[in-house]
Chain A
Amino acid sequence: MNGYAGVSRYVPFVLRWLALGVVLLVIEVLIGVGAINEYVVPRPSAIFGALYRVVVEEHVMTYFLITLGEVLAAAAGLVLVGIPFGVFLARKRDYWSAWGNWVAGLAAAPVVLLYPLFLVVFGRSPLTIIMISFVTGVAPVILKTVEGISGTRKVLLDVGRSFNLTEWQSFWKIVIPSALPAMFLGLRLGLIYTMITVVAVEYLITLGGLGSLVGELAERYDLAATYAAVCFVVAVSVVFFLVVERLEHWLRLSA
């Protein structure tokens, strides 16, 4: 981001939250005055109150853990299937030539639109969510793994050969460490698509987890709680994004 000369780092941060606060205040006033119908948009103060209620009474933790569990299950798939498959494609160029474009197509395709089919095949169960989120997230993992492995610098492989490393030793001591940064980047991208798909499908089929919570509250016409739940989900999603970003950065530096 462009630096703005002479302004301390924290000023934009403070101003940002100040601006948000002002907007919320204006909305509060407009509702109080009747300019905005409070049966459509609850007062921000009511939303804050509902936030407490949602967290404590609605057992938001349970919902959160369900979502987290589904995300982790899909993530396990990304690591246990996506990476080895990427390694396979990187080493067998024939198969990469044959399937590479298909994987790239999968990465760009709107897989989540197929959710009715997954629903029918896997039933109304967490498995549906895990499977479709896995499919959505696995393509970038595979692509980046192939990129990392086939991009190993030739001179490093030559160093290995000059010390008479076996193929196996060369793979684990040179190729994999060299490919780790790209693999972590792929995992970061995959995890984000996965998380988005998990919450979205939870909402669409109302099956436990944070996405489902929002839908349930909306059906009960509990306006303030619905808004609060939406804010909560957005907050969780942003935190997840930040954590994954940090994690990838840290792993890349220490790899």
Chain B
Amino acid sequence: MTKPGADRMAGPSRVLVIRVVTIAVLLVLWELTARSGYLYQDVVPTLSAIAGGIFEIVSNPDFYGHLQVTLLEIALALAIGGFLGVVVGIVIGANPFVGQIFEPLIYYLGPTPKIIFFPLLIMWFGIGEASKVAMGTISTFFPVALSVAAGIRHIDPVLIRVGRSYRANALQMATKIYFPAMREPFINGIRLAFGVSVIGVLLAETKFARDGLGFMVTRLYQQFDMPAMYGLVIIIFAFAIAVNWLLGRFVHAGKP
């Protein structure tokens, strides 16, 4: 039963027009604010200044050193946190009793501002790279553990019984039954974990660090080199979105 005179679908060209106009308006507003003199100088740099800042960063050899440090920290955090998350996830997923006791702890601890643990991590690990890796590890741990636990719990019990009926030992059960079932939840967990561990590592670097991209941002802020700071923050933000998006495509490509 359609309403007499139902709306026709939006043409793709109208959508394009709206998008182009929106971006144009935002850019114009930004530029006007930047040139207005209303705000303290460079608080909102002009678009050309920001472009200059981006160029400045990318042509600064220091940038690549810091980038390397940050990437290394993220990679280690994902590896360690991922490993711990898988182990704990399997334990609480495979055993319902243990799961009932400990999973709520992880579930309710998950949505807390983890950066709040950073002062403690500094006490334990100092202000070097280790504390950032630890921060990223904590961020990574929760989504991975919860995803893996859920994945294990949802394994069809028939498959487990089949394994047991053939008297598979623990290792065989692990590799032939649990691991394949775990693959997808694990990948989903890592996707979520990537997002939060990047945030955790970078935020920690902005607070207390000796190197890394976050440290570079803070230093530029203290030097009040705004165009460069804007440029670096934009580069970091764009990079984080790009990798997230890539991971998403990678996950979907792997699906049947």
Contacts and interface: CB of A to CB of B under 8 A. Distances in A.
Chains A and B touch (C-beta atoms under 8 A apart): yes
Interface of A: 1-4, 7, 12, 15-16, 19, 40-41, 93-95, 97-99, 105, 108-110, 112-117, 119-121, 154, 158, 161, 192, 195-197, 199-200, 203-204, 211, 214-215, 217-218, 223, 226-227, 230, 233-234, 237-238, 241-242
Contact of B113 (A1, A196, A227, A242): A196
Interface stretch (B117-125, B158-166, B168-176, B181-189): B117-125
B19 A200 contact: no
B216 to A, nearest CB: 11
B230 interface: yes
Contacts of B15: 94, 97-98
Interface stretch (B56-64, B71-79, B80-88, B198-206): B198-206
A241 B108 contact: yes
Contacts of B99: 1-2
Given A114-B237, A238-B109, A7 B97 contact: yes
Q: Nearest 4 pairs between A and B by C-beta?
A: A218-B119, A98-B18, A12-B100, A199-B113
A16 B202 CA distance: 33
A148 B203 CA distance: 35
B67 interface: no
Nearest to B240: A110
Nearest to B12: A97
B51 interface: no
A217 B15 CA distance: 52
Contacts, number: 148
Interface of B: 1, 3, 7, 9-10, 14-16, 18-19, 22, 39, 43-44, 96-97, 99-105, 108-109, 111-113, 115-120, 122-124, 153, 195, 198-199, 202-203, 206-207, 217-218, 221, 226, 229-230, 233, 236-237, 240-241, 244
B241 A105 contact: yes
B116 A204 contact: no
Given A98-B19, A99-B22, A116-B233, A234 B109 contact: yes
B113 A237 contact: yes
B241 A94 contact: no
Contacts of A120: 43, 221, 226, 229
A230 B116 CA distance: 6
A121 B44 contact: yes
A2 B240 contact: no
A12 B1 contact: no
A113 B237 contact: yes
B101 A238 contact: no
Contacts of A154: 1
Contacts of B124: 40-41
A2 B153 contact: yes
Contacts of B16: 98
Given A16-B104, A241-B108, A211 B43 contact: no
A227 B117 CA distance: 9
A23 B221 CA distance: 42
A255 B120 CA distance: 44
Nearest to B10: A94
B217 to A, nearest CB: 6
Contacts of B116: 199-200, 203, 211, 214, 230, 233-234
B233 A98 contact: no
A211 B113 contact: yes
B22 A108 contact: no
Given A1-B99, A117-B233, A214-B119, A109 B241 contact: yes
A95 B237 CA distance: 25
Centre residue among B7, B118, B240 by max chain A CB count within 10 A: B118
Instruction: Name the residue in B108, B153, B217 with the highest tally of chain A Cβ atoms < 10 Å from its Cβ.
Output: B108
